[in-house]
Structure 1
């Protein structure tokens, strides 16, 4: 503890970084940032922008950069992005996925993780790409190599069959689908890789809000795991944990 206090006194360590080392989190005006989550849980803490003001998101992003070297923001709109990019240091790297509504910011000295594992992220249609994109961002944040396979819904089964080699080479597969949510079941029936289904709130009329998709996936006659409607973050994080376990096994 004395070393941390000396570092703060000398200016080599900020109070937020010191708090993160001592308590595992950093306190901001917008809340507490869980700086130790990646060490404790294997996946980085993310900042959910939805429901927060732009200034609150910017405050937490700065705390994330200061304590972990990286800020991962989900469900960000244009106002959130503007506030964050205006506040972060000019030498930070900013990667925005506008469709997925994610923002990843890295400090110049941040070394991203790199693990020996592959995650395939599959979407049934272009309308499902935002949720699939969120899952892909999380899997990459863990350090996995991510392969995207888009617009391969069951209306034409030949589209997914064309990608069987890529699917079979993956260590875990995330499949996002709306409407009746059939694609994860089809994919899981073709490969021996773990499949995580993500129901998406796309479709028409009754059940078109993701209800039909999640019920179809839960009733799948092939074995797969299912997350909540539009929960790309959860699916990507779960895929990342599987990928980490696979990579760890390969190292042994």
Structure 2
């Protein structure tokens, strides 16, 4: 039963308040056999769409969850795929239903339903090419949340002039938020935050070796930043992209409201 049906029953005295409250509280998820309960109202409740983390899941289960989510909302993002997941998805969906991103090991499964664009703009920047996988995961999430994305890759502080050359692009595109992915010493988010007047989300990446390897030095560096930025966990591209898109979408909403006054 959907929300409109419950409210109509309540209006027509076919249901009392307690029963309506109970039914409403039980809404918002769809059971998928005995393996999952997908949260189909998450986007409406929080502004962030439901997604499937494939890592650790059986390929058959990933397919069944994807089918249920597509039936409910038209699109679903799947992250952290392995070869077995990819093969199973290719066997169960047509090529027209799959939008792959090989860098991020992600895919969007859809039934032709387009993304509803919000007007939000998110920039995705990496220090090096080794940081692109995590950055692309963030970009896919922001795109699925309706944002235009700007990708600027391989502009780390080892060659600072590369970033300087891209600053004009950033100023022209006027992003509402910026994700900066960096490994090793993780300096780039601090630099970008010191140059731009929009929120910056630091995304530490598990590159580097020796002391502080696997993103630990990058994480600590970003947490100690002297310029103001937010920081997500190591390799947490989904969280970085979702947070950036949430900011951008709220900014866009405010911008549209102001233009109508």
Match of 2:117 among 108, 114, 117: 114
Task: Please tell me the root mean square deviation across aligned C-alpha atoms, in Å.
Answer: 2.1
Distance 2:153 2:95 in 1: 33
Give the 3-state SS of the residue equivalent to 1:120 in structure 2: strand
Structure 1 unmatched ranges of 5 or more: 6-18
Q: Which residue of 1 aligns with 2:217?
A: 212
2:67 corresponds to 1:95: no
* Alignment TM-score, normalising by the size of structure 1: 0.89
Preserved CA contact (<8 Å) 1:73 1:103: yes
Cα deviation, 1:52-99, whole Å, max 9, x if unaligned, reads 0101111110011111111210001121122123223x4853111112
Distance 1:243 1:123 in 2: 19
Give the 3-state SS of the residue equivalent to 1:71 in structure 2: strand
Q: Which residue of 1 aligns with 2:14?
A: none
2:238 corresponds to 1:233: yes
Pairwise CA distance, 1:165: 2.1
Pairwise CA distance, 1:21: 11
Distance 1:22 1:68 in 2: 18
Distance 2:217 2:251 in 1: 32
Distance 2:192 2:155 in 1: 10
Pairwise CA distance, 1:159: 0.6
Structure 2 unmatched ranges of 5 or more: 7-22
Which aligned runs of 4 or more in structure 1 are off by greater than 4 angstroms? 2-5, 19-22
Cα deviation, 1:89-124, whole Å, max 9, x if unaligned, reads x4853111112011101112x131101121100011
Q: Which residue of 1 aligns with 2:136?
A: 133
2:45 corresponds to 1:40: yes
2:176 corresponds to 1:171: yes
Q: Which residue of 1 aligns with 2:72?
A: 67
Cα deviation, 1:15-68, whole Å, max 9, x if unaligned, reads xxxx99962111113311111111111111110000001011111100111111
2:145 corresponds to 1:159: no
Preserved CA contact (<8 Å) 1:31 1:60: yes
Seen in structure 2, the aligned counterparts of structure 1 residues 70 and 215 have a Cα distance that, compared at 3 Å, is same
Larger Rg: 2
Seen in structure 2, the aligned counterparts of structure 1 residues 120 and 145 have a Cα distance that, compared at 3 Å, is same
2:130 corresponds to 1:123: no
Q: Which residue of 2 aligns with 1:190?
A: 195
Preserved CA contact (<8 Å) 2:120 2:245: no
Larger helix proportion of the pair: 2
* Alignment TM-score, normalising by the size of structure 2: 0.86
Cα deviation, 1:204-235, whole Å, max 9, x if unaligned, reads 11111111000000000111110000000000
Distance 2:70 2:97 in 1: 11
